[in-house]
Amino acid sequence: MAHDVKSQLTHLIRQALASVAPAAADLPIHLERPRDPTHGDFATNLAMQLAKALKKNPREIANQLLAELPVSVLVAKAEVAGAGFINFTLDPRAKLGVVRAVLAEGESFGRSTLGGWQKVQVEFVSANPTGPLHVGHGRGAAYGASLSSLLSFAGWDVTREYYVNDAGRQMDILGLSTWLRYLEQYGVAVPFPPNGYQGDYVRAMAEQLQHAHGDKYLRPATAVLADMPGLPEAERSDDAAKQQRELHLDALIARAKELLGADWDYVHQHALTEQLADGRDDLEQFGVHFDVWFSEKALFDTGLVARCVDLLEQKGHLYLQNGARWFKSTAFGDEKDRVVQRENGLYTYFASDIAYHLNKFERGFDKIINIWGADHHGYIPRVSGAVKALNLDADKLQVALVQFAVLYRNGQKASMSTRSGEFVTLRELRGEVGNDACRFFYALRKSDQHLDFDLDLAKSQTNENPVYYIQYAHARICSVLNQWSGAQLGDLAALAESDLARLDHPRELAIANQLAQFREVIENAARDLAPHLIAFYLKDLAGEFHGWYNAERMLVDDPALRDARVALALAVRQVIRNGLAILGVSCPESM
User: pLDDT of 141-179, one tens digit each?
Assistant: 999 999 999 999 999 999 999 999 998 899 999 999 999
Burial class (CB within 10 angstroms; exposed 0-12, middle 13-18, buried 19+) of 231: middle
Rg (CA), the chain: 30
Q: How many helices (H) and strands (E) does the chain have?
A: 22, 15
The identity of residue 522, as a single letter, is: I
The C-alpha angle 485, 576, 31, rounded to 5 degrees, equals 120
CA–CA gap between residue 130 and residue 542 (Å, rounded): 41
The pLDDT assigned to 417 comes to 55
CA–CA gap between residue 149 and residue 526 (Å, rounded): 10
The pLDDT assigned to 2 comes to 40
Report the predicted TM-score, pTM, of the whole model to 2 decimal places: 0.90
CA–CA gap between residue 348 and residue 16 (Å, rounded): 62
The pLDDT assigned to 511 comes to 97
Positive/negative CA dihedral, 239, 244, 248, 250: positive
Q: At what angle do helices 506-516 and 532-551 cross, to 10 degrees?
A: 160
How many beta carbons lie within 10 A of that of residue 503, not counting itself?
A: 22
Q: What is the pLDDT of residues 339-362, one digit of tens each?
A: 999 999 999 999 999 999 999 999
CA–CA gap between residue 545 and residue 542 (Å, rounded): 5
Burial class (CB within 10 angstroms; exposed 0-12, middle 13-18, buried 19+) of 34: middle
Please tell me the total number of residues recorded for the chain in this structure.
Answer: 591
Average pLDDT, the chain: 93
Instruction: Report the phi/psi class of residue 411: left, alpha or beta, with left for phi > 0 and alpha for psi in -120 to 50.
Output: left
Say if CB 103 and CB 570 are below 8 A apart. Answer: yes
Chain-centre distance of CA 300, in angstroms?
Answer: 29
The pLDDT assigned to 130 comes to 92
Share of the chain above pLDDT 70, in %: 97
Say if CB 581 and CB 108 are below 8 A apart. Answer: no
Chain-centre distance of CA 308, in angstroms?
Answer: 30
Mean pLDDT in consecutive groups of 10 residues from the start of the chain, 591 residues: 74 94 90 88 94 92 94 92 93 90 95 97 95 92 98 98 93 97 95 92 96 97 94 91 95 97 96 96 98 97 96 97 96 95 93 97 97 93 96 97 87 64 81 96 93 91 95 97 72 84 94 95 97 98 98 94 96 98 97 88
Q: Which of 576, 584, 579 lies closest to 476, judged by CA?
A: 576
Which residue stretches of 409-505 are H helix?
A: 426-433, 435-443, 455-459, 466-483
Q: Classify residue 134 by its DSSP letter.
A: B
Say if CB 275 and CB 204 are below 8 A apart. Answer: no
Q: Classify residue 531 by its DSSP letter.
A: T
CB-side exposure of 398: number of CA atoms within 13 Å? Answer: 13
Residue 523 vs residues 141, 267, 305, 520, 531: alpha-carbon distances, Å: 22, 48, 38, 5, 10
How many beta carbons lie within 10 A of that of residue 579, not counting itself?
A: 26
Which three-class secondary structure state does DSSP give residue 346? Answer: coil
Q: Which of 467, 434, 469, 478 lies closest to 589, judged by CA?
A: 478
The pLDDT assigned to 563 comes to 93
The identity of residue 553, as a single letter, is: R
Positive/negative CA dihedral, 477, 480, 485, 489: positive
Question: Cα dihedral angle (547, 549, 553, 559), rounded to 10 degrees?
Answer: 120
CA–CA gap between residue 252 and residue 299 (Å, rounded): 26
